[in-house]
Structure 1
Amino acid sequence: MKFKVAEDVDAPVGFVFERMLDFSQFEADIRGRGADLRRVDNWTRAEKGVRWRGSVQVRGKMRRIEAELDDVIRDEMVSIQITVGGMEARYQMTFIALSPQVTRVAAELDLKPRTLTARLIIQTMKLARGRVLQRMTGTLARQGNQIEADWRRGAQG
């Protein structure tokens, strides 16, 4: 099952890419929602091969999660392979320079169930597809708004 959303950000592609790959804010947000997510090997720079482990709540139950940054093309694309419970997922963000000052960020989440429980979760998500897309769009828009504000304040680098 795939979910796709996009957001145009009023900032140059290089700036947007760097801000989107600052995972410290993402990690803080997810911990704020009750998840336990830790970097493996305490890496400081987002590059291919970096990993996270921990647990997240899915349908009221804590489930083990592992994630790995499996592809990075600077200023173009980043892909994260995720395993949570009996489900595999790939989260990919693509960065397209629409102009020197505007970047389109397209996010795609592809979920593949590997167990019966995961299949049931996917079926529930199909019924709530609109809400899932709305959440993804809202998250991407909030990130985009913060990046735009940082760019306008002159935090260019």
Structure 2
Amino acid sequence: MEFKGNEDIEAPIADVFGAISDFEMMERSALRRSIEVQRTGDPAHPEAGLTWDLNFAFRGKQRQARLVLADYSPVTGMTITGGGSGLDGRMEVELVALSPQRTRLSVWLKLEASTLTGRLLLQSLKLARNNLNRRFKLRLADYAGLTEARLKSTA
């Protein structure tokens, strides 16, 4: 199952990359959503590899996942892979400078089942594909808007 989305942000590409690679801020955001996060690695040097162990409730069950920063290309993007509870995923984030003050944020997420339980979970997600696609795009637009607002307030 794949999700794709693009959003334009009114800020230079380097500033946008700095905002999306603020891993400590993302960890705090996850904690506010009742997701337990344990990081391994130094966020000041993410190119050496970061991992996160997550514990969260989804559809009435406690789930666990491990995320790995698989590729880190300063200013242009990053790739995060992960798996847990029968699902494996890969998320690619790419930044493209449209102009000196405008950046396109492109996100691609792919989920695959690795167990029978994962297949059942993925099948139930596929039944709600339209709703999930809409929510993914809304969430990406919201994230881009928050990032743009945060960058404007620090400028």
Give 2:66's aligned residue. 66
Change (3 A) 1:54 1:150: closer
**Deviation of 1:75 (Å):** 1.3
TM-score (structure 2 length as normaliser): 0.90
Give 2:91's aligned residue. 91
State yes or no: 1:133 paired with 2:95.
Answer: no
User: Matches of 1:32 and 1:147 in 2, distance apart?
Assistant: 17
Give 1:19's aligned residue. 19
User: Matches of 2:114 and 2:150 in 1, distance apart?
Assistant: 41
Contact 1:11 1:147 in 2 (8 A): no
Residue aligned with 2:94, SS: strand
Between 137-146 and 71-80, the greater mean CA deviation after superposition: 137-146
Contact 2:43 2:50 in 1 (8 A): no
User: Matches of 2:108 and 2:75 in 1, distance apart?
Assistant: 17
User: Matches of 2:55 and 2:78 in 1, distance apart?
Assistant: 22
State yes or no: 1:44 paired with 2:43.
Answer: yes
Give 2:123's aligned residue. 123
TM-score (structure 1 length as normaliser): 0.89
What are the Cα deviations for residues 42-84 of structure 1, in whole angstroms up to 9, with x where unaligned? x232334111113122322111211110101111120001112
Gapped runs of 5+ residues in structure 1? none
User: Matches of 1:141 and 1:128 in 2, distance apart?
Assistant: 20
Contact 1:37 1:53 in 2 (8 A): yes
State yes or no: 1:6 paired with 2:6.
Answer: yes
How many residue pairs get matched?
A: 154
**Residue identity in the other structure for 1:104:** R
RMSD, aligned α-carbons: 1.6
Residue aligned with 1:34, SS: coil
Identity %: 32
Residue aligned with 1:47, SS: helix
Gapped runs of 5+ residues in structure 2? none
State yes or no: 1:80 paired with 2:80.
Answer: yes
State yes or no: 1:56 paired with 2:75.
Answer: no
